[in-house]
Amino acid sequence: MKRLPKKRKQSIQVGMAIIFFVAICISVLYAFVILKHDPYLTNLSGRLQSMSLLHPLGTDHLGRDVLTRLLLGGQQTIGYSLLALVAAVIIGVPFGIISGYKRGIIDRLFMRVADGFLAFPDTIVAIVLVGLLGPSISNLILAIILVKWVNYARLVRSTVLTEAQKEYILIARMNGLPARKIMTKHLFPHIIGHVFVMASLDLGKIILLISAFSYIGLGAQPPMPEWGAMLNDSRPYFESKPELMIYPGLAIVLVVLLTNMLGDYLRDRFDVKKEVQS
């Protein structure tokens, strides 16, 4: 009895994901293969057009095709978020493993740094960094990487600390396996599931952060079609063309919703609730 609702919930999630995926494929095909609009090409005589076959979602205040920009924006938003995430994981995981397994001075030094980062909330660090380096998408990504890698390193470190006490690691050590081998062959496969779950839960947050920063002008700069920046660009025209407000926002909501569902699903699958709940 207890398992039924959960299964139903999962099949709804999978169904939604498939529908969404198909919708994306159709719109990508339509926009890039059939219509072939240039997302940066401005056309002042055709600005603020309504829906048509040529422009399925109309055009914006500079006459650019909204659907093409929306799709390219999605590609960039998700791409940049993944880039930040992957970089944070690549930096954080080795630090966490070494710090948790080798202990000693490296560990103490790392914990100092991590505590220092913890004293400052993520968003503040991001604001500070973007503030000092200047507003741009690459600086924002840099700030996100700098903030996030500590989280992964901490997660990995705490997992390694408990894992290293287990018998199979002790046996491996007794057999004279070098530390490098233990870390890569035995510890790494154990922690990667946790990291994966945490990363999938983080993805939505990072997408939201990037679009929010871009909206207030501290992230992607025009004419880049980032969703938050698109909302900011077209704000003066909302009264006459409310669609311009609807599309990018809806796109953000759908993508974040989907990544969050994926994260929840993975968390249930791997059953790592306790460690990953931040």
Partner 1 sequence: MLMITFASFLFVRLAPGDPVLTILNVDELSVSQEQVEQLREDMGFNKPLLVQYGHWLIAFFRLDFGSSYVTGQPVMDMILRGLPATLELTVGALVVMLVVAIPLGSLSALYRNSWVDQMSRIVSIIGAAVPSFWLGLILIDVFSVRLNWLPSMGRDGTATMILPALTLGLAISSVYVRLLRSSLLDSLNQEFIRAGRARGLSEGRIFFVHAFRHSLAPVITVFGVSLGSLIGGVVVIEVLFAYPGIGKMVVDAIRQRDYPLIQGYILIMAILVFVVNTCVDLSYRYLNPELKIKERETN
Residues near partner 1 (CB under 8 A), total? 40
Report in angstroms how near the CB of residue 53 gets to partner 1 at its nearest: 28
Q: Does 8 bind partner 1 (CB under 8 A)?
A: no
Instruction: Tell me how far, at minimum, the Cβ of 123 lies from partner 1, in Å.
Output: 3
Number of Cβ within a 10 Å radius of residue 221: 13
Does position 29 bind partner 1 by CB under 8 A? no
Considering the complex, state which of residue 121 and residue 178 has its C-beta at the smaller distance from partner 1: 121
**What's the alpha-carbon Rg for the chain, to the nearest Å?**
22
Do the beta carbons of residue 156 and residue 100 sit within 8 Å? yes
Token pair of 199 as six digits = 């990363």
Nearer to partner 1, 186 or 241 (CB): 241
Is 66 a residue that touches partner 1 (CB under 8 A)?
A: no
DSSP 60-125: -TTS-BHHHHHHHHHHHHHHHHHHHHHHHHHHHHHHHHHHHHH-HHHHHHHHHHHHHHHHS-HHHH
CB < 8 Å & 24+ apart, contacts of 245-248: 247/57, 247/66, 247/70, 248/70, 248/73
Q: Does 262 bind partner 1 (CB under 8 A)?
A: no
| Residue 238 engages partner 1 in binding (rule: CB under 8 A) | yes
Residue 202's nearest CA partner among 241, 252, 144 is 144
Per CB under 8 A, 271 contacts partner 1? no
Of 200 and 211, CB closest to partner 1 = 211
Among 31, 88, 126, 195, binds partner 1 (CB under 8 A): 126
Q: Report the distance separating Cα 118 and Cα 23, nearest Å.
A: 40
Question: Out of 218, 224, 272, 276, which residue is the one contacting partner 1 (CB under 8 A)?
Answer: 218
Q: Which of 107, 208, 223, 262 binds partner 1 (CB under 8 A)?
A: 208
128: contact with partner 1 by CB under 8 A: yes
Residue 135 binds to partner 1 (criterion: CB under 8 A):
yes
What does the alpha-carbon distance between residue 237 and residue 194 come to, in Å, rounded to a whole number?
45
Q: Does 50 bind partner 1 (CB under 8 A)?
A: no
* Window 178-207: residues binding partner 1 (CB under 8 A): 204
Q: How far is CA 267 from CA 21, 95, 98, 143, 273, in A?
A: 21, 23, 25, 26, 6
Tell me the residue type at 145: I
Q: Which residues bind partner 1 (CB under 8 A)?
A: 119-124, 126-128, 130-135, 204, 208-209, 211-212, 215-218, 228, 231, 235, 238-239, 242, 245, 249, 252-254, 256-257, 260-261, 278
